[in-house]
Structure 1
Amino acid sequence: MDELKSAVKEILIAYLPDEAGNPILDTLVNRAIWSYRNYVNYPPDTEETDIESNMKDNLYCISDLALYAFNKQGADFESAHNENGVSRTYESEGAVFTAHGVFPYVRV
């Protein structure tokens, strides 16, 4: 898992070079990994090695989840924002998964 975290952090630093020493990046990486695992909803009998392999295959999805959280700092759960003529709306985090073709396991 440490290898995955390092790889995601490297991608974030490539996008955000001015943030290289910012400790928030570690928090964002951990949040993105948690969000990915929670969304995918792996079956209980899935081996940890299989989960890690799947997560490495979807490295850019996880890094985009971290970048998504970084860009929304201070605007968590905000659906619209208008200030000084600048208007912002955000896609849901689910749009990141869809863009990468990641879908959860369904249990019946």
Structure 2
Amino acid sequence: MLIAKGHKVRALVRHEDERAQSLRALGADVVLGEALGRTIHYRDVPLSDWSERLSQAGVPAHLLSHLKVMAKLRGQGRYDRMTDDLFKLTGEKPTSMRDFVKLHASAFTAG
């Protein structure tokens, strides 16, 4: 979970980034912090706590089950890979996480 001091968490980022830079290697907190122009602190939240909060927020059980499996796989590094699949399919380079966050900064800011 990504937490900015004094801000509510507005988004959970748990998916493969198809860029040449691995978010796992860079640190998602560093990438998001640079894009948003503020310090973001990463805190490893136990899966049970994370899933309980999602459940309390009303996430349906079938979706929660799916998200838990994806979170486990991500924790094992199973999504930490880079491909050129998007480029092959569309002929366009994917947007980096840093650029995506800059373009949509308001979605990552409490307000």
- TM-score of the aligned structures, taking structure 2 as reference length: 0.26
- TM-score of the aligned structures, taking structure 1 as reference length: 0.27
Q: Which structure would you say has the larger RCO, counting Cα contacts within 8 Å and 6 or more residues apart?
A: 2
Which has a greater percent of helix?
1
